[in-house]
Amino acid sequence: MAKKIILLGPPGVGKGTVADKLTKKLNLPHIATGDMLRDNTEKKTPLGIKAKSFMDKGLLVPDEVVIEMVRQRLKQDDCKDGFVLDGFPRTINQAEKIDDLNFDEVINLQATDDIIIKRLNNRRVCSKCGSIFHLDYIKPKQEGICDKCNGKLIQREDDKDEAIKERLKVYRSLTEPLISYFKNKGILVEVDGSKTPKEVFESVVRVVS
């Protein structure tokens, strides 16, 4: 049976880390709108050029841009047996535009602002393969170097203080209302995202199996 899962939650709560492991376990594509947008900004595509100024400030990229990008991606063959959406939807309007897809579960990862700010400040990502590290609990074996591909680890522009504050504000006003939206549909499951990556993943696996 096709499995369609949404990972919901504030920036930095661990959606990317969970989605990465979950998609490997379930053999499904990991559809992360942030990664898709960053890929476009790096390649300086028209979409990427449009998105960059919003992303660097911690603001949402306009709905019409992101919705079209996701709809195109979901039409690809590898999505026919399901997928895990990470970072989409982020507004009620985006959610309404994919209402027809009949999701199985929306997993809402939660953690306090203090935890999130610390995690985002200490997050490092590989500039080559996008792998996520954390200076406290997902430490790279060699400082500044990706364990998987030897790429250089960097701090994302939007993981710096000012942008983090903006992203949390945007999350509270535009994305948090999705919790009630999916609760009303009866498909929302809460998972405590403040635990260790291993514990969070185990909880998520229990939810989907």
Q: Residue numbers of the site for ligand AMP (CB under 6 A)?
A: 11, 33-34, 37, 54-55, 58-61, 66, 87-88, 90, 94, 158, 167
Q: How far is the CB of 33 from ligand AMP (least distance, A)?
A: 3
Is 38 considered catalytic here? no
Tell me the C-alpha to C-alpha distance, in Å, between residue 115 and each of 112, 140, 177: 5, 20, 21
**Nearest-angstrom CA–CA distance, 187 and 157:** 34
Q: Are 33 and 74 a contacting pair, CB within 8 Å?
A: no
Q: How far is the CB of 111 from ligand AMP (least distance, A)?
A: 14
- Beta bridge partners, 153, equal 126
Is 206 considered catalytic here? no
Name the active-site residue from 4, 38, 90, 97: 90
Is 156 considered catalytic here? yes
Nearer CB in complex with ligand AMP: 35/81: 35
Name the active-site residue from 38, 119, 124, 167: 167
Name the active-site residue from 156, 160, 183, 195: 156
Nearer CB in complex with ligand AMP: 91/143: 91
Sequence-ordered list of residues with C-beta below 8 angstroms from that of 133, at least 6 positions apart, any chain: 123, 124, 125, 126, 139, 140, 146, 147, 153
Q: How far is the CB of 110 from ligand AMP (least distance, A)?
A: 16
Q: How far is the CB of 163 from ligand AMP (least distance, A)?
A: 8
- Closest by alpha carbon to 31, among 78, 65, 96, 64? 78
Task: Using DSSP bridges, classify how beta strands 132-134 and 123-126 pair: parallel, antiparallel or unpaired.
Answer: antiparallel
Nearer CB in complex with ligand AMP: 11/14: 11
Is 123 considered catalytic here? yes
Is 90 considered catalytic here? yes
The continuous run of DSSP H or E covering 154 comes out as: strand 153-154
Q: How far is the CB of 48 from ligand AMP (least distance, A)?
A: 11
Q: Token pair for residue 64?
A: 């019409």
Nearer CB in complex with ligand AMP: 55/204: 55
Nearer CB in complex with ligand AMP: 47/55: 55
3-state SS class at 66? helix
Q: Token pair for residue 95?
A: 């959610």
Q: Which residue is nearest to ligand AMP (CB)?
A: 34
Positions annotated as catalytic residues are: 15, 90, 123, 156, 167
